Amino acid sequence: MKKIMITGALGQIGTELVVKCRALYGNDNVLATDIREPEADSAIANGPFEILDVTDKTRMYELVESFKPDTFMHMAALLSATAEKNPLFAWDLNMGGLMNALEAAREFNLQFFTPSSIGAFGPSTPKVNTPQVTIQRPTSMYGVNKVAGELLCQYYFEKFNVDTRSVRFPGLISHIKEPGGGTTDYAVDIYFKAVREGRYASFIDKNTFMDMKYMEDAIDAIIQLMEADGVKLINRNAYNLSAMSIEPEMVKEAIQEYYPEFELDYEVDSVRQAIADSWPNSIDVSCARAEWGFNPQYDLNKMTKVMLEAIEDKEKVQS
């Protein structure tokens, strides 16, 4: 990778991906795009930025032609809970945007990345140690989009020789970007509420195990995969990824190591709980480890310490 164009740059993953790529490849070599302008004092605003609605193919092509990237990272998508509220819009944005991005990659001979998700699995998928290759029958629009996206990327690789690569992300936890409509967002919001209020009401019920990963590990995994030798990539669209399988009570106990008075309550959201119940409890990441050296650095305790310290620092600056 030398020049990278990133869609959805102001989203949960895109925000930190842009910063890391600019640090590695040079500020002017990473074009960030999104449907709205970044805040003037944000890190995203300190480099190339363009407005882009990913459903606008003409505009997307104009930006590719002018910036001349060699790599396209397509991060723009509607998340699980938000997609379930407006499934038709989710299909148009998630699939229409992906098709436009893949066509751009084909037309301009670009290396291509887009994330899939554990949402691509469903209730008939084995829930424990979910295999890399297994049945995928999701029951949410978001999940349907992700399965279709995996198949579409594989099609473009096999039919048009586009160098497509992808991962199935678990829940991603970060102190940079606050929750934005995902089923696993409780594991982000709980840290912010612990610092700010000392208590949290979880919309996901206790004993609901889901795979999670600290955002720094997620960003590193994207870059590592994109830099990997393509000849070794057998399951390129998309690799199972995870660093920990956790449920709300485990997060509570980790937080109580630093905030002993922290309290966790439950106000279960039936929509998001149903989505969570359809996902695996834990997934097998052995293919990613074997094929390109995936090796996350953060477990629950290490992540909790970093999250709480970072949020505390953010609160001090804002107060």
CA dist., res. 105 & res. 64, Å (int):
9
| DSSP-H helix ranges across the chain | 14-25, 57-67, 80-85, 87-108, 141-160, 186-196, 215-227, 248-256, 270-277, 286-292, 300-318
The helix (H) or strand (E) run that includes residue 138 is none
Our answer to whether residue 142 is catalytic in this structure is: yes
Catalytic-labelled residue, pool 25, 61, 142, 239: 142
Strand partners, 213: 172
User: Is the bond leading into 45 cis (omega within 30 degrees of zero)?
Assistant: no
Using an 8 Å Cβ cutoff, are 179 and 185 in contact?
Answer: yes
DSSP 117: E
CA dist., res. 264 & res. 203, Å (int):
11
**Which residue has 């004993």 as its token pair?**
207
Q: Give the number of residues written for the chain.
A: 319
Largest CA distance in the chain: 57
DSSP 260: T
Residues marked active site are found at: 142
